[in-house]
């Protein structure tokens, strides 16, 4: 079962996330806004919705805060650095925005599911009503994707 939720709904909190570059990487990444960073820990895995597609990311951190270095097609790719296509990096490069600019981070389900969009754009998200954690973990273990 799922529900459609527009980004301009009162049920969605929206914050500015800053496009940054860290270390020697040439790929841009996102520094999460403080309100979002306070709800996630380093190494948490979250779902990121970009242009209507679900991707998976692992939260990273440095002295400046919490970061998303990439978003990937599978949970396994999100756990394994360097595997798969970095959909977040592709999306950021295609926005015609520079390091230091921002994008909008919508909180769909705190600590679990976030949407990204360009400022001024509107998105409609699908909120999936997930099974209880115990049932979900059993299903993931059967899929071999835990």
- Reported as a single tens digit per residue, the pLDDT across 19-56 is 999 877 778 999 999 999 999 999 999 999 999 999 99
pLDDT at residue 103, rounded to an integer: 98
113 neighbors 96 (Cβ within 8 angstroms): no
The CATH code of the domain that includes 25 is 2.40.330
The answer for residues whose C-beta is within 8 angstroms of residue 72's C-beta and 6 or more apart is: 55, 56, 57, 78, 83, 84, 85, 86, 87
Does residue 98 lie within any of the structural domains? yes
Tokens for 1, please give them: 């079962």
Residue 30 maps to a domain: yes
- Domain of residue 85 covers 9-121
Per the domain annotation, does 51 fall within a domain? yes
Domain count for the chain:
1
pLDDT-derived band of residue 83, with 50, 70 and 90 as boundaries? confident
- The answer to whether residue 104 is domain-embedded is yes
What is this structure's pTM? 0.84
Cβ 54 vs Cβ 115: under 8 Å: no
């Amino acid at each position: 079962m799922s529900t459609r939720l527009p980004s301009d709904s009162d049920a969605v909190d929206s914050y500015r996330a800053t496009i940054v570059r860290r270390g020697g990487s040439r790929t841009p990444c996102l520094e999460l806004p403080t309100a979002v960073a306070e709800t996630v820990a380093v190494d948490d895995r979250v779902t990121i919705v970009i242009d209507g597609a679900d991707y998976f990311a692992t939260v990273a951190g440095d002295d400046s805060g919490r970061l998303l270095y990439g978003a990937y097609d599978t949970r396994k790719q999100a756990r394994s650095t360097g595997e798969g296509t970095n959909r977040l990096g592709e999306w950021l490069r295609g926005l015609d925005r520079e390091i230091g600019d921002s994008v909008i981070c919508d909180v769909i389900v705190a600590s679990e599911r976030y949407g990204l969009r360009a400022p001024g754009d509107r998105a409609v998200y699908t909120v999936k009503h997930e099974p209880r954690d115990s049932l979900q973990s059993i299903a993931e273990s059967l899929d071999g994707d835990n």
